[in-house]
Amino acid sequence: MQIEPMPSDDGYRCWLNPSEQDLLVEYFSEEPRKQLAVELMLDGLRSEEVPRVATRDFRRLDGDEEAHKLRVREGKTGFRECPVSNDTKQKAVMLKNARGLTKEDPLVDVSARTVQRWIAGGNGTTGAVETLAEETGNDDWLHVTAHDLRRTWATSTYYGLSAPYSLEVIMQWGGWEDGDTFRSNYLGKEPDHLAVEMMDEAGLR
């Protein structure tokens, strides 16, 4: 996990590595609604956007290979489409069917604050990060918030694309209008697993 202090406030910004992302998703393996919320945030959604997601919002892309984008209809910066994994789409459909919902019904029908508490706790509840800190012996988990999942997605996707248009595309997908805000508040150092590849390529390892 990479962490760094907030520039002006108490607390830290955190970026989860792929294994830690899997740990957080698996933590909610017995609670499909919470697990879907985690996956949606790891796909770039804000916590306040998660409770509005319905299966009608998933759009299959034109092409031979299966791929989907999620229509975020009332995002902070207006309408956008954000890529989501086929696994996320499948879990959304399974949750809809299991709960007897229509395609217009919200899949995670709770407040944004509740979604945030599922991750970081608060208001008398224990969040996933407290348990994961104890289980892994890594106290960095205690600094993780729901917003760090979106931050993780932004940085991993940026470095994963590795193309001249990376910044513009990710800002469209994630719903950012200002490049400086994205760079200063979301974009972290290259993830460790990519740093290893870069070091090998540069002959530094």
Question: Is 204's pLDDT higher than 70?
Answer: no
User: Which pLDDT score, from 0 to 100, does residue 78 have?
Assistant: 84
User: Which pLDDT score, from 0 to 100, does residue 205 have?
Assistant: 63
How is the chain classified by DSSP, letter by letter? -EEEE-SSSSSEEEE--HHHHHHHHHHTTT-HHHHHHHHHHHTT--TTTGGG--GGGEEEPSSSS--EEEEEEEETTEEEEEEE-HHHHHHHHHHHHHHT--TTS-SS-S-HHHHHHHHH-BTTB--HHHHHHHHHT-GGGGG--HHHHHHHHHHHHHHHH-STTHHHHHHHHHT---HHHHHHHT--SPPHHHHHHHHHHHT--
Which residue, among 195, 178, 183, has the nearest Cα to 154 in the 3D structure? 183
User: Which pLDDT score, from 0 to 100, does residue 185 have?
Assistant: 87
Phi/psi for 161 (5° steps) reads -70, -45
* More confident call, 112 vs 78: 112
Question: Is 162's pLDDT higher than 80?
Answer: no
User: Which pLDDT score, from 0 to 100, does residue 64 have?
Assistant: 82
Question: Is 145's pLDDT higher than 90?
Answer: yes
Q: Cα separation of 51 and 54, whole Å?
A: 9
Confidence grade of residue 57 (pLDDT, cut at 50, 70, 90): very high
Most confident by average pLDDT, 5-19, 54-68, 100-114: 100-114
Domain 13-200, architecture per CATH? Orthogonal Bundle (1.10)
Least confident of 45-59, 98-112, 125-139, 153-167: 153-167
- Lookup result for tokens 């520039």: 7
Give the type of residue at 12.
Y
User: Which pLDDT score, from 0 to 100, does residue 183 have?
Assistant: 87
- Asked if 108 contacts 115 with a C-beta cutoff of 8 angstroms, the reply is yes
Q: Cα separation of 10 and 171, whole Å?
A: 26
User: Which pLDDT score, from 0 to 100, does residue 195 have?
Assistant: 78
Question: Is 59's pLDDT higher than 90?
Answer: yes
pLDDT average, residue stretch 8-32: 93
Read off the pTM. Answer: 0.88
Question: Is 68's pLDDT higher than 80?
Answer: yes
User: Which pLDDT score, from 0 to 100, does residue 144 have?
Assistant: 97
The domains of the chain are located at 13-200
Question: Is 172's pLDDT higher than 80?
Answer: yes
